Structure 1
Amino acid sequence: MDSRFRSVPSGYHRLNALMEMYGDLNFTVLGFSCNQFGLQAPEVNHETLNILKYVRPGAGFVPKFPVFSKVEVNGLNEERLFTYLKESLPFVNPVIGDLKKFYWSPIKVNDIRWNFEKFLITADGMPFRRYDLHCPIEKVEKDIADLL
């Protein structure tokens, strides 16, 4: 396992490490802030980079990937990109989590379940694989390497 992943405290750091590993190739991470999961991202768009740097994950963190404006990834106002990704890559064994922490309606079986769910898209724009929050980063890394 790459040493950059051994004691990494957050998903943000893991995404930076992926950019360090593959950023010189035909690869990039795209970050989208969303407040639909436990209301964990209440900041407004112009505050996002400062929140990342000073609060979560903090300690001077600077993303090495583009971070886009806040979006809704589920429900009536979800961005079409996420509608497309969820339709293209449905869950194999869908499990709905704690509904009290979900802030959208209607709730659908293929909805994104929590922050840091990932979608891998090929260089020609085709959805390739979907990873839940608990997927080991090594699996994502292997799939990226296989595609590149």
Structure 2
Amino acid sequence: MNALMEMFGNHNFTVLGFPCNQFGLQSPEVNHEMLSILTYVRPGGGFVPKFPIFGKVEVNGLNEEPLFTFLKENLPFVNPLIGETKKLFWSPIKVNDIRWNFERFLITADGIPFRRYELHCPFENVEKDIADLL
């Protein structure tokens, strides 16, 4: 995400980071620990985000943030949720739920959801879409 900010940060573009612990309980830290974890542990190596990191949220289930309800309703998946559901910590599980950390959404400058990217989507696809929108 830092690379995207370096490429497009001088344009009408920004990345917004929303930590979540609903995927394999991989983000157990509390909000005030978030930047230290990023810098020293995961990804570590002195990493400093070049974009805003918000407080931890729930992106699926009964307590999901309304922003993510809106995004999922406007950019649904057509494929069923697959994988090891024992690592998914929310209920109820729905077909349009966010599948794992680092799933991305691209939103236009007018606030219109444009595209949803799965975890393993090639970085070049996201980069091209941003460049096309800008």
Structure-2-length-normalised TM-score: 0.98
Q: Please show how residues 46-65 of structure 1 align to structure 2 within 5 Å.
A: 46-65=32-51
1:34 is aligned to 2:20: yes
SS at match of 1:96: coil
Instruction: Describe the SS at the equivalent of 1:130.
Output: strand
Task: Please state how far the C-alpha of 1:94 moved relative to its aligned partner.
Answer: 3.2
Counterpart selection for 1:74 from 48, 60, 74: 60
The AA in structure 2 aligned to 1:62 is V
Deviation at 1:97, TM superposition (A): 1.7
User: Deviation above 6 Å: which 4+ runs of structure 1?
Assistant: none
Aligned to 2:83: 97
Calculate percent identity across the aligned residue pairs.
81
Show structure 1 runs of 5+ residues with no match: 1-14
> Within 2, Cα distance between the matches of 1:139 and 1:47?
32
In structure 2, the residue matched to 1:129 is: 115
Q: CA deviation at 1:99?
A: 0.2
Correspondence 1:146 to 2:127:
no
Alignment of structure 1 residues 17-28 onto 2, 5 Å? 17-28=3-14
Secondary structure, counterpart of 2:115 in structure 1? strand
Q: Which digits, 9 at most, give the CA deviation of each residue in 1:3-38, with x for residues without a partner?
A: xxxxxxxxxxxx000000000000000000000000
Following the alignment from structure 2 to structure 1, what is the Cα–Cα distance between the partners of residues 40 and 78? 37
CA RMSD of aligned residues (A): 0.6
Residue identity matched to 1:16:
N
Q: Scaled by the length of structure 1, what TM-score is found?
A: 0.89
Q: Of 14, 23, 30, which residue of structure 2 is paired with 1:44?
A: 30
Q: Is the CA contact (8 Å cut-off) linking 2:81 and 2:94 kept in structure 1?
A: no
On the 8 A contact 1:96/1:109 being kept in 2, the answer is no
